[in-house]
Structure 1
Amino acid sequence: MIKIGDKIDDRYRITSRLGTGGMSEVYEATDVISKRVVAIKIMKEELMNDYENIRRFKHEVAAVASLQHPNIIKVYNNGEVNGRPYMANEYVKGQTLHEKLLFLTKMQPYEACEIMLQILSAAIYIHNHGVIHRDIKPHNVYYMADGTIKLGDFGIATNEEMSNANPDEHILGSVHYLAPELCQGKKPTPLSDIYALGITFFELVTGHVPFDEALPIDIAVAHIKRPFPMPSKVDPSISREVEKIIIKACRKNPIDRYQSAQAMADDIENVMKNRNNFKEKKSFLSRIFGFK
């Protein structure tokens, strides 16, 4: 059992418990060598009897250990404590976008564009390095106090070259953000991430996910068969130009989507240049604190 004051690998002194996730316990710790504060993710003890859980946890470490980007949560180190794998991550002082949406309900289209550009910057980087995130959603995107966006939680990320390795894993991910081809058991590609980015954009500007049926299977069927709802029908203040980006990212057929995160980012940047596309051009910080 991990206790406050414990030291891991003679380096990370546990200072508080931050919470728990699906696979791990998370602690705040101080790196006694670098003096920086880190977040320690330790695999839950009750999951250690399943090799697949261990493999998935270690896979997250491998997926992000070499990724260095300002919009991706850093992994500083990893190892084992009491036989349980752990990783020392960048300590993120901020909320998830999901938590922000619970507070704000939705975001102004302009600030949503600002946020999306940062998420897309991370997506461009990981795709260029052959990594598919597979679980992009507001719950896995962190909003720092200075407005910086950080993409995290690479627990089910995969390498493009290995995406055929286990067909049973193709349907992993949050069903509200799952691309139609993944709902059908097909292999993940960067275009699957594009779909999830489009759903995230939709949720930021409308405050809702496009398909929210009671049962996961019904949500999956909706992704495959039902027409994608027009964001402007939910909120008429959303401009046609912003709407077009969301709709293109969320096409049922991957061939009809943006073929890269860069292409989607380029369109968002172009839309932001025209003030007429936004009724209210305010950032998140200005809306909360009244900054001009």
Structure 2
Amino acid sequence: MTISSGTTLGGRYVLRSLLAVGGMGEVWRGEDTELDRPVAVKVLKEGAAANETFLKRFRNEAKNAAGLAHENIAQVYDYGDQEGTAYLVMELVEGEPLSTILERERTLDEARLVRIIMQTARGLDVAHDAGVMHRDIKPGNLLVAHGDAVRITDFGVSRSMDQTTLTQTGMVMGTAQYLAPELALGKPATPASDVYALGIIAFEAVVGKRPFTAATAVDIAIAHVNEAVPPLPATVSPDLAQLIKELLEKNPRKRPRTAGELIERLGSLTLREPGTVPSAPTAASAPRGEAASTSDGARTRRGGGRTMPPSIAPREYRPRPDGPPRGRSARSVGQ
């Protein structure tokens, strides 16, 4: 079947303009004529549709993503097949991939980075609770809309706990630059594997480049397994640097094991003000841990460090006027 602007799928989804082209398919801006709303339509390429493995992955993406309802996950509306062309109808996110933002800006300020990682972790927490591992978290699969609202997309290589594997033993799935060491070794994905990918994104966002580069995808995967993570610059806040270091542990048991655990860590970070540099301690320095309030409600430590302001910290971690921060239940975050 020939796909072009004006093509109608399923009797209701009219394709308007091409948004993106990937290895397996194309993503079109479209219109749902029955509900009169814009949609994104992912169409499997003709060659991929003829490949049974690709087709099963496409169906898995529809099944896995359709079962996840959260503000930080791009919603899937429908799935169909017309004249041998499989298509997936999704929420249209008016934004741009994080990869485009990083290409343009090189680095992000720490508060913005934490905000983006926090929202991504919230979406992953819901997916993991449902038994779905994304397995391909990378900047290109994080759509950033107005106000830095994040939507996770492309569950094309995701795997639910109740699905049989579509790969041979030892086969690697995912994008090499963001691949957890255990996945590079052909081991099963866990929540900690998606958490590792967030560590790579965080490293890239504060340094301006990824920690591991090489001539081929295989060499990059080997580097994830064997090479030490390069040191972060001294301009990175100590708390954030320590968290990134833990996210990139080779052993998944040494990382925050779940997205929920990562959310808790992010909520308690002390960040350095943009443009400040670390200062050497002096005799007049305040005692370790002493803090003072700022005009925006944040808590600032001597030397320029600051805890996360209320505008960034999720509500459940904001200080209560009469007691300690609120606790967090397994399903309360992001709701």
**Same fold (TM > 0.5):** yes
Residue equivalent to 1:22: 23
Residue equivalent to 1:219: 220
Task: Choose between structure 1 and 2 for higher RCO, CA contacts under 8 A separated by at least 6 residues.
Answer: 1
Post-superposition offset of 1:121? 0.5
| Partner secondary structure for residue 135 of structure 2 | coil
Q: Which runs of 5+ in 1 are unaligned?
A: 284-292
Residue equivalent to 2:188: 187
Residue equivalent to 1:135: 136
Residue equivalent to 2:268: 270
**Distance (whole Å) between structure 2 residues aligned to residue 139 and residue 59 of structure 1:** 20
**Distance (whole Å) between structure 2 residues aligned to residue 77 and residue 216 of structure 1:** 34
**Distance (whole Å) between structure 2 residues aligned to residue 163 and residue 139 of structure 1:** 26
Contact preservation (8 Å) 2:31, 2:37: yes
**Distance (whole Å) between structure 2 residues aligned to residue 266 and residue 81 of structure 1:** 45
Post-superposition offset of 1:182? 1.1
Residue equivalent to 1:78: 79
| Partner secondary structure for residue 58 of structure 1 | helix
**Distance (whole Å) between structure 2 residues aligned to residue 113 and residue 139 of structure 1:** 18
Shift of the 161–3 alpha-carbon distance from structure 1 to 2, 3 Å rule, reads: closer
Aligned length: 280
| Partner secondary structure for residue 146 of structure 1 | helix
**Distance (whole Å) between structure 1 residues aligned to residue 130 and residue 170 of structure 2:** 21
**Distance (whole Å) between structure 2 residues aligned to residue 64 and residue 191 of structure 1:** 19
Residue equivalent to 2:112: 111
Higher-Rg structure is: 2
Alignment of 1:21-40 (within 5 A): 21-40=22-41
Q: Which runs of 5+ in 2 are unaligned?
A: 271-297, 312-335
Post-superposition offset of 1:215? 2.1
**Distance (whole Å) between structure 2 residues aligned to residue 215 and residue 5 of structure 1:** 39
Runs (4+) off by over 3 Å = 161-170, 272-279
**Distance (whole Å) between structure 2 residues aligned to residue 222 and residue 184 of structure 1:** 11
Contact preservation (8 Å) 2:30, 2:40: yes
RMSD across aligned positions (CA): 2.2
Contact preservation (8 Å) 1:241, 1:277: no
Contact preservation (8 Å) 2:170, 2:185: no
Post-superposition offset of 1:277? 3.3
| Partner secondary structure for residue 67 of structure 2 | coil
TM-score normalised by L of structure 2: 0.79
**Distance (whole Å) between structure 1 residues aligned to residue 69 and residue 173 of structure 2:** 25
- Counterpart of 1:14, as a letter, is L
- Counterpart of 1:156, as a letter, is V
| Partner secondary structure for residue 231 of structure 1 | coil
TM-score normalised by L of structure 1: 0.90
By percentage of residues, which structure has more helix? 1
Alignment of 1:20-99 (within 5 A): 20-99=21-100
- Counterpart of 1:112, as a letter, is L
Post-superposition offset of 1:166? 3.9
- Counterpart of 2:19, as a letter, is L
Using the TM superposition, name which of 9-18 and 152-161 deviates more: 9-18
- Counterpart of 1:27, as a letter, is W
- Counterpart of 1:271, as a letter, is L
Deviations 1:138-179 (A, max 9, x none): 111011023211111100000134476744475111111111
